[in-house]
Copies of this chain bind each other. A is one copy, B any other.
Amino acid sequence: MDLSPIGGSFTCCGVPANQRGVVVGHMRGVRGGRRRRWRQRQVNGCCCSWAMDEGSRMWMVTCTAPVNIAVIKYWGKRDEELILPINSSLSVTLHQDQLKSTTTVAASRDFKEDRIWLNGKEENINHPRLQTCLREIRRLARKRRTSGDGNSNTLSLHHKVHICSVNNFPTAAGLASSAAGYACLVYALAKLHGLEGELSEIARQGSGSACRSMYGGFVQWMMGVKEDGSDSIAQQIEPETHWSELRVLILVVSAEQKPIGSTAGMQTSVKTSPLLKYRTEIVPERMKEMIDAIKRQDFETFGQLTMKDSNQFHATCLDTFPPIIYLNDISKRIINLVHRYNSHFGETRVAYTFDAGPNAVIYIREQHVDEFVEVVKHYFPPEENGEQFLKGLPVNSVSVSEHLKSSIQMDSIKSGIQYIINTQVGPGPQLIQDANLHLLGENGFPKQ
């Protein structure tokens, strides 16, 4: 068995291998029932490459990308194919310690076709939006190459890719998994091809809100005006370090009905909701106000505007025909609870926002987390035999004053909330350094 590193120089991500650290290992590939021996190079801060005995080579890169939760909502496209929105939107990127997509992409001359596995199951690679992302990344890579800043030793654009992606949160949680998923895919493909710079335009074409997951912190998606969509891109307003006390609680609600998907939903809204047309006149001012509130760390304005915009988004859903109703009675109770809680203190301490489902996402500052979580537990006591109720960042147990309870005056309802994830603002997509974390094995197929 030959365990020596591959001889000669090759380029990965545009950086010659001899300028980077090299790890050598012995790997086994099984494809078509045939055993092969591999030689691996791991390039630090970048992707891995293996060379098979026969001389064919495989490139591999693994990345993670975050979920983002909009505070000014995106609902409705002016161009279905390019995914151009009817209004700008703004979101907070959540920390990947709690919620993330992980994607491994591998490329090899040996791969017969592009293939994709999502959460352990092979999916159809011919999905138009997947194809768009693959095509656009390859187009960008080709452009870079022909413009002379490439290197003939990089992987061929004719190589097929294997893609494997998983979320560390249940899709059932309804947490815009497609945004994190497409952001991760685009970021990983870009890393594979050594592409840097603006990528949100491509991510947007996978899933609109994915463009916002390309950055950490506070991110706006500018709707743009150009027909080709080249100015419909995401931009960071402030990095994740800007407002360190901000926390995000995800209240995962027990839902019995499967909500209407957002793609179909927003199409129907654009076609049928008269109020949605007017929303486009309202959003520009809200964007300005929101950016300003974030820059000033003004939670009162941030929270109020977040709640108002969530409500307005759901209002346009209800004005759709047939109507789309994502909020359920538990969502409604959470809304009531938040307003009563804030009203008790005479200030906005917590703010809810709801996406295309009944789960509440709560923005709150660190100093109020313990109490508010206790309040939620009081009014939505968890199932005794249920799963762990609190996930994510630690929460301290405190007592809720009788005074506060008497202000809130609500009945308790058992097991309306399945669990709470406590998280915070986080960074954009990350490249994974540890080769052990690749989701594809050395054979280019999913490990599990």
Q: Which residues of A contact B (CB under 8 A)?
A: 256, 274-275, 278-279, 282, 304, 307-308, 311-312, 314-316, 318-323, 325, 327-329, 332, 335, 339, 411
Contacts and interface: CB of A to CB of B under 8 A. Distances in A.
A314 B275 CA distance: 12
A315 B319 contact: yes
Contacts of A307: 321
A348 to B, nearest CB: 11
Nearest to A314: B318
Given A279-B275, A328-B329, A329-B329, A335 B323 contact: yes
Contacts of A311: 318-321, 323
In this complex, the member of A321, A323, A328 whose beta carbon has the largest number of chain B beta carbons within 10 angstroms is: A323
A71 to B, nearest CB: 15
Given A275-B279, A278-B278, 19 more contacts: A274-B282, A274-B312, A275-B278, A275-B312, A275-B315, A304-B321, A307-B321, A311-B318, A311-B321, A311-B323, A312-B318, A314-B318, A315-B315, A315-B318, A315-B319, A318-B318, A325-B327, A325-B332, A328-B329
23 contacts: A274-B278, A274-B282, A274-B312, A275-B278, A275-B279, A275-B282, A275-B312, A275-B315, A278-B278, A304-B321, A308-B321, A311-B318, A311-B319, A311-B323, A312-B319, A314-B318, A315-B316, A315-B318, A322-B339, A323-B335, A328-B329, A328-B332, A329-B329
A307 B329 CA distance: 21
Given A274-B282, A275-B315, A312-B319, A335 B325 contact: yes
Q: Which 10 A-B pairs have the closest CB atoms?
A: A278-B278, A315-B319, A315-B315, A315-B318, A322-B339, A329-B329, A311-B323, A275-B275, A274-B282, A325-B332
Contacts of A411: 256
Nearest to A329: B329
A323 B312 CA distance: 9
In this complex, the member of A278, A318, A322, A335 whose beta carbon has the largest number of chain B beta carbons within 10 angstroms is: A318
A316 B312 CA distance: 8
